[in-house]
């Protein structure tokens, strides 16, 4: 956040790229990840907080996580580097009248997104990107896996008639728990419609947990609103519709984009003399 504000306040007169910026493309709200990279030289911060009410066995769980953040930086028009974390977590559980609490930081993730197929303006070809990364353990936290866990996502986007758009994801991850390493997979389907001045979305996300630990289906919906060209506010709520851990959650957040902030043609040449 500090970095974004510095770039916005102290670099106002640096010439911009000749390349036009696309509409703001954010990875929040929702589970599903859009395929669009942020663009050459763009620095983007997406952050928010989530509260979840859940049942696990006979215990009631309440968990607050945040700031859940991803920092995205465009190396080229098609490639971005990424750093993300679910932030700090506060968890309270109640079982047989006894309450216990845990708190600690979540693991960090470093990765990249690469667009491999551009969306066709006419026809049925979607935009397709591959996203990959690896976790970095948060030492001393009760929520860390304690290992470097890789993940991979295949993301596809397609604009539809009447201001609708569709996102589909296929996700794969190798995760470490107390018993060793297991492999998870997931699929997500996300549809949105622009209804100026806001957009609304609905989503279904399915996760299969390795080692025969079952699966889960979550449905959610929400709303997001652009503030100018470089900021977005959002709110979402969801519920588990199948699985061993019934839960209800709500999340709200903000996205801030610093366009053409760090690199590119004429970044340090100063303003034109006008001659």
Residue 56's pLDDT is 82
**For residue 178, what is the DSSP state?**
T
Q: Does any domain span residue 93? A: yes
Residue 22's pLDDT is 78
254, two tokens:
């903000």
Q: pLDDT tens-digit profile of 235-246?
A: 999 999 998 888
Mean pLDDT of 119-123: 83
Q: pLDDT tens-digit profile of 216-229?
A: 999 999 999 999 99
Q: Does any domain span residue 263? A: no
Report the C-alpha gap between 216 and 207 in whole angstroms: 5
* Residue 272 predicted with pLDDT over 60: no
Q: pLDDT tens-digit profile of 70-84?
A: 999 999 999 999 999
Residue 10's pLDDT is 35
Domain that holds residue 139: 2-258
Q: How confident is the model at residue 263 (pLDDT cuts 50, 70, 90)?
A: low
Q: Does any domain span residue 157? A: yes
Residue 138's pLDDT is 92
Q: Does any domain span residue 205? A: yes
Report the C-alpha gap between 59 and 50 in whole angstroms: 20
Q: Find the CATH number of the domain harbouring 215.
A: 2.40.160.40
Q: Does any domain span residue 274? A: no
Mean pLDDT of 202-212: 90
Residue 221's pLDDT is 97
Please give the biggest Cα pair distance in the chain: 79
Q: Does any domain span residue 266? A: no
Q: pLDDT tens-digit profile of 129-155?
A: 999 999 999 988 999 999 999 999 999
Q: State if pTM tops 0.75.
A: yes
Distance between alpha carbon 138 and the CA centroid of its chain, in Å? 19
Residue 269's pLDDT is 39
Which DSSP string corresponds to 38-94? --TT-EEEEEEEEEEEEEETTEEEEEEEEEEEEEEEESSSSEEEEEEE--EEEEEEE
Q: Does any domain span residue 271? A: no
Mean pLDDT of 175-197: 92
Structural domain tally of the chain? Answer: 1
Q: Does any domain span residue 264? A: no
């Amino acid at each position: 956040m500090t970095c974004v504000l510095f770039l916005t306040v102290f670099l106002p007169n640096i010439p911009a790229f000749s390349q036009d910026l696309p509409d703001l493309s954010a990875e929040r709200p929702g589970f599903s990840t859009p395929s669009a990279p942020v663009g050459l030289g763009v620095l983007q911060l997406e952050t928010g907080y989530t509260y979840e009410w859940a049942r696990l066995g006979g215990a009631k769980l309440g968990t607050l996580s945040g700031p859940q953040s991803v920092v995205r930086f465009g190396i080229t028009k098609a490639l971005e580097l990424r750093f993300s974390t679910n932030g700090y977590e506060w968890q309270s559980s109640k079982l047989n009248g006894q309450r216990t609490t845990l708190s600690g930081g979540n693991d960090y993730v470093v990765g990249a997104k690469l667009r491999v197929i551009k969306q066709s303006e006419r026809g049925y070809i979607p935009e397709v990107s591959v996203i990959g990364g690896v976790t970095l353990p948060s030492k001393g936290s009760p929520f860390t896996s304690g290992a470097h866990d890789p993940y991979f996502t295949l993301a596809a986007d397609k604009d539809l008639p009447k201001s609708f758009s569709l996102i589909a994801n296929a996700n794969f991850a190798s995760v470490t728990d107390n018993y060793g390493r297991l492999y998870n997979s997931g699929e997500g389907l996300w549809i949105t419609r622009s209804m100026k001045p806001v957009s609304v979305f609905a989503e279904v996300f399915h996760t299969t947990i390795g080692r025969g630990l079952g699966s889960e289906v979550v449905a959610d919906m929400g709303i997001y609103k652009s503030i100018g060209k470089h900021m977005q506010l959002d709110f979402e709520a969801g519920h588990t519709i199948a699985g061993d851990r019934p839960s209800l959650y709500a999340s709200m957040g903000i996205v801030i984009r610093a366009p053409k902030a760090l690199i590119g043609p004429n970044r340090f040449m100063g303003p034109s003399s006008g001659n």
